[in-house]
Structure 1
Amino acid sequence: MSTGSKETQRDTACPGAAAVYFSNPMMSDFESDWSLIHDAAFNGNVLSLQRLIAQGICVNLSTLDQVSPLHGACLQGHTNCAKLLVENGANVNSATVDGRTALTDACAGGHVTCVSLLLQHGATPQGNSPSHSPIHWAAAKGHPECIEKLVQYNADVDQHIDTLGSPLHVACSNQQLGSVRQLLQLGADVNRSASGDSPLHIAVRLSSPEMVSDLLDHGADHLLVNAEGKRPLDLTPPDSQVGRLLREVGGMTPLKQLCRLHIRKTVGKHRMGEIPDLHLPTKLIQYLLYQSEQSDVQKH
């Protein structure tokens, strides 16, 4: 190894310090961005990772693209490696050159144990870059359990990104029904517009009766017009299942549904998790949380 490489090796003995950028000119471009500690974290090799840390290798060693070992561990869902790195001073909020944090990677992969670990150690729930918002990635990839964990740590269920809209818009666009239901359960704004379309417009365009039904149950306004001046019903063939669902809500909304929507709106999205603690009959709490309908579906 050249003298320059040895100097780089000595500089890496800095657990918890600022990121050190690693490059070996004797290697190819890809390999020069990758070190032994990255390899151990990415592959879930805890023993190798422990040995490297004991040797003084920096846990915040970054590639030229600012990828840290923690990014690699969380991308693959290796919680034990992530825990070891964090306990030895890894920066939980370090971002790659495109703004990706370890939390973003964990959410995209659906690795909820990594998500929980990072949040417990101070990871920023909203991420460091609009294009790499953790809750948007969790919504897009269909990981409702990650969405729930993020919201528990004060992530905004309606976090808006100009190019994408809210997490609910992203979940609908990617046809992730589990994400849609989780977001609605957590109080997402069902009528927020993005690029002129409401979530209901998106679901109708995709001809998804399940999404349309869930959105309507949570108060989606079927009369909202988009940027083209069209209602959701205008976007679907009249003989389709989605079209039938939309026509069925053309009449009066049942009183008990109006009451549920009003109570949930009054409670607010930031206190939605407190509904189970209200001094109300169990069946009423289940109704407010849409759990009675879920139970009926499971029975059938």
Structure 2
Amino acid sequence: MTDLRYPLHAAAREGRHDDLKSLLLCGLHDVNEATFELVRPLHEACFCGQYECAALLIEHGANVNLSNIDGGTALCDACCNGNLKIIELLLNSGANVNPPFLMTTPVHEAVFRDNWKCLELLSKHGALLDKNDCHYGTPLHVAAYKGYIKSAEALLKAGASPNVSKTHQTPLHEAARSQDLPLVHMLLEHGADVYARDSQGCTARQLVPCSTSLCKLYLQEWERTPKTLRFHCRMVIRRAVDVKKLKCPMQLNLPKILVRFLQFE
């Protein structure tokens, strides 16, 4: 049903490009008009994946960095939808990849929907990957809590730290609690601290609910076994280089074999 109070919003949300264009050209509507929740037409177009409407709104002067009542920008909404074309459009139109936020960030929104390709794009544009939101923690916490291994992999390869904590809880604690062995393995391989303790003084192993779980046994073995020189070399080099540039090794002047090693390939 068309919203008579906010015709621009309705047209943008429903992908009615021609109607939206007519409304913008008639001069009676503000392209940045806000609802009582500070939602703009551009937010609607991005959240619903309406690329042509989003492009039209920007062409007519829509502010790409205005936020809604929760602090979410159009880029946050585009990351919810996962439309890479809209995300690129926003970034190329001046959208802040690290906007001031109240509840969440574009990176968090992408992880919530397991839109891991969005994460790769955001990281290439300089997104901060280790910011805590007000609920889960960092985007990597979200990926661990949800069991989204593709998103976790994209974050780790882009340089997200596995040891940033939220109230002393790390992503490894989240993965261990759900006994997600592949995710636990990935976090440990990327340098997660197996000895880190949460606010109750528990390590990840102690949070595994089943005493005979393969996940608990794996964590126990990881605690007891000294790490190889190969493992330590990879960690030291990854800390020394800008891992965001590993997708473009020419920027780092590194041999391809070393890049593959650093990217766990």
**Aligned position for 1:47:** 18
- Counterpart of 1:75 in structure 2: which amino acid? F
Verify the 8 A CA contact 2:82 2:118 in the aligned structure 1.
yes
Instruction: Name the residue aligned to 1:27.
Output: none
The equivalent of 2:235 in structure 1 is: 261
Q: Give me the whole-angstrom Cα distance separating, in 2, the residues matched to 1:79 and 1:168.
A: 28
User: Whole-Å Cα distance in 2 between the matches of residues 151 and 55 of structure 1?
Assistant: 39
1:148 shift after superposition: 1.9
Identical pairs, percent: 34
SS of residue paired to 1:146: helix
Q: CA-to-partner distance for each residue in 1:183-236, whole Å, 9 max, x for gaps?
A: 100111111111121111110001111110110110111111221111111122
Q: 1:152 to 1:126 in 2, by over 3 A?
A: same
Query: Which residue of 46, 53, 70 corresponds with 1:74?
Result: 46
SS in 2 for 1:62: coil
| One-letter amino acid matched to 1:49 | L
| Aligned AA (1:282) | K
Aligned residues: 261
Cα shift readout 1:72-109 (whole Å, capped 9, x = no counterpart): 10011111110111011001111222222111111112
Contact 2:91 2:97 in 1 (8 A): yes
Asked whether the equivalents of residues 79 and 114 of structure 1 are also in contact (C-alpha less than 8 Å), the reply is yes
Q: How far 1:271 sits from its partner (Å)?
A: 4.7
Structure 1 stretches lacking a partner, 5+ long: 1-29, 293-300
Whether the 8 Å contact between 2:104 and 2:134 is mirrored in structure 1 is no
**Other structure's SS at 1:132 match:** coil
1:258 is displaced (CA, Å) by 1.5
> Structure 1 residues 160 and 272 mapped into 2: Cα distance closer, same or farther (>3 Å)?
farther
User: Over the residues paired in the alignment, what is the CA RMSD in angstroms?
Assistant: 2.0
Mapping of residues 198-237 of structure 1, within 5 Å: 198-236=170-208, 237=210
**CA distance, structure 1, for counterparts of residue 69 and residue 254 of structure 2:** 50
Distance 2:69 2:153 in 1: 33
Q: What are the ranges of 5 or more consecutive residues in structure 2 without an aligned counterpart?
A: none
Closer/same/farther in 2, CA of residues 110 and 268 from structure 1, 3 Å limit = same
The match for 1:171 is 143
**1:183 and 2:177 are equivalent in the alignment:** no
* Residue 273 (structure 1) shift: 4.5
Match for residue 35 of structure 1? 6
Deviation per CA, 1:150-192, whole angstroms, max 9, x where unpaired? Answer: 2222221112235432111122122221111111001111111
TM-score (norm 2): 0.91
TM-score where L is the length of structure 1? 0.81
Residues 1-300 of structure 1 aligned to structure 2 (within 5 Å):
31=3, 34-56=5-27, 57-236=29-208, 237-249=210-222, 250-269=224-243, 271-275=245-249, 277-290=251-264, 292=265
